[in-house]
């Protein structure tokens, strides 16, 4: 082999060896670790919109309207004596409405009355002492019973009770009252009498700053002074002896006529 050929072969061998070493180094070198992808934070959820609370009706409290003021006692014809708790101004559907808030303690009832309607319903202030005195004087008068059927008289009594007129109510108490020595009332008479007595005593109690029990006693003391009841108590049995004594249904009406027994019992 010539020297030139030997050198060429040696170079080729050296090149192969160098290539092998390079391959070994590449194989031995660990692959570069891939960087983890950056995790983006999740976008925050949109906050839920707050639900608007239901609209509350606007209320404006006032202290006086139509001559009436808060905390004042009044008479409402259909229910009797009540107390104004407040006078409210409410806005409903864009319209303003003023209301009296009235409490009827004994009936455990609260009533709201538009201030513009007080004249129509007959709401009034308490009677003055002079009018209360007149009502008490009325109780001492002679009972007047008209010569009509009971059903018609009952309607008249109810109308007087619901009129709100303290003197008219006193007339019902006077006409339907029965003392212990007199015949008992019928069920319907008793109901009307108690309704009238309740209305009258409650107003007198508030006006005189007394209790209802005290007012009832004062009413009954006035009723006991009625000429009819006093005369019967004094006459005793004399009237029965001559046939002119009081009997069930025999009363004098406003014209001085005798009322028949069957009319009173009807």
pTM, to two decimals:
0.63
Q: Please state whether beta strands 109-114 and 95-104 pair in parallel, antiparallel, or not at all (unpaired).
A: antiparallel
Phi then psi for residue 79, to 5 deg, are -130, -10
CA dist 75 and 127 (Å) reads: 9
Pick the most confident of 11-15, 45-49, 121-125, 248-252. Answer: 121-125
Residue 54 has pLDDT above 70, yes or no: no
* φ/ψ bin of 150: left (φ > 0), alpha (ψ from -120 to 50), beta (otherwise): alpha
pLDDT at 90: 81
Q: What is the pLDDT of residues 80-133, one digit of tens each?
A: 999 999 999 888 778 888 999 999 988 889 999 999 899 899 999 999 999 999
Q: What is the pLDDT of residues 159-179, one digit of tens each?
A: 999 999 999 999 999 999 988
Residue the block writes with tokens 């019902």: 172
Q: Which residues lie below 8 Å from residue 79, measured CB to CB, with a gap of 6+?
A: 104, 107, 109, 111
Question: Can you read off the two tokens belonging to residue 102?
Answer: 């009235």
Residue 138 has pLDDT above 70, yes or no: yes
Residue 142 has pLDDT above 60, yes or no: yes
Q: What is the mean pLDDT of residues 50-62?
A: 58
pLDDT at 207: 96
Dihedral angle over CA of 210, 213, 215, 217, nearest 10 = -140
* φ/ψ bin of 127: left (φ > 0), alpha (ψ from -120 to 50), beta (otherwise): beta
More confident: 1 or 236? 1
Q: Using an 8 Å Cβ cutoff, are 131 and 167 in contact?
A: yes
Q: What is the mean pLDDT of residues 210-239?
A: 73
Mean pLDDT (the chain) is 75
Dihedral angle over CA of 173, 176, 180, 186, nearest 10 = -140
Q: What is the mean pLDDT of residues 251-258?
A: 38
pLDDT at 72: 95
Q: What is the mean pLDDT of residues 137-156?
A: 91
CA dist 112 and 76 (Å) reads: 12
Least confident of 41-50, 98-107, 192-201: 41-50
Question: Can you read off the two tokens belonging to residue 72?
Answer: 């004042």
CA dist 50 and 61 (Å) reads: 30
CA dist 128 and 207 (Å) reads: 7
């Amino acid at each position: 082999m010539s020297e030139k050929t030997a050198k060429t072969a040696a170079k080729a061998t050296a090149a192969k060896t160098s290539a092998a070493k390079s391959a070994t180094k590449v194989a031995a070198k660990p692959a570069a670790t891939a960087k983890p992808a950056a995790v983006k934070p999740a976008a925050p959820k949109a906050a839920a919109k707050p639900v608007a609370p239901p609209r509350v009706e606007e209320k404006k409290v006032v202290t006086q309207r139509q001559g009436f003021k808060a905390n004042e006692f009044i008479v409402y014809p259909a229910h009797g004596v009540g107390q104004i708790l407040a006078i409210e101004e409410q806005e409903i559907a864009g319209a303003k409405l003023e209301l009296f808030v009235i409490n009827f303690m004994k009936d455990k009832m609260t009533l709201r009355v538009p201030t513009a309607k007080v004249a129509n319903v007959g709401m009034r202030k308490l009677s003055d002492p002079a009018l209360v005195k007149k009502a008490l004087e009325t109780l001492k008068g002679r009972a007047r019973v008209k010569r009509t059927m009971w059903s018609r008289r009952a309607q008249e009594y109810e109308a007087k009770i619901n009129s709100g007129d303290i003197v008219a109510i006193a007339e019902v108490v006077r006409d339907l009252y029965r003392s212990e020595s007199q015949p008992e009332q019928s069920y319907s008479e008793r109901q009307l009498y108690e309704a009238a007595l309740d209305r009258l005593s409650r107003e007198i109690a508030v006006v005189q700053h007394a209790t209802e029990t005290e007012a009832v006693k004062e009413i009954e003391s006035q009723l006991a002074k009625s000429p009819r009841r006093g005369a019967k108590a004094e006459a005793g049995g004399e009237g029965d002896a001559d046939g002119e004594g009081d009997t069930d249904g025999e009363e004098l009406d406003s014209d001085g006529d005798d009322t028949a027994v069957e009319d009173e019992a009807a």
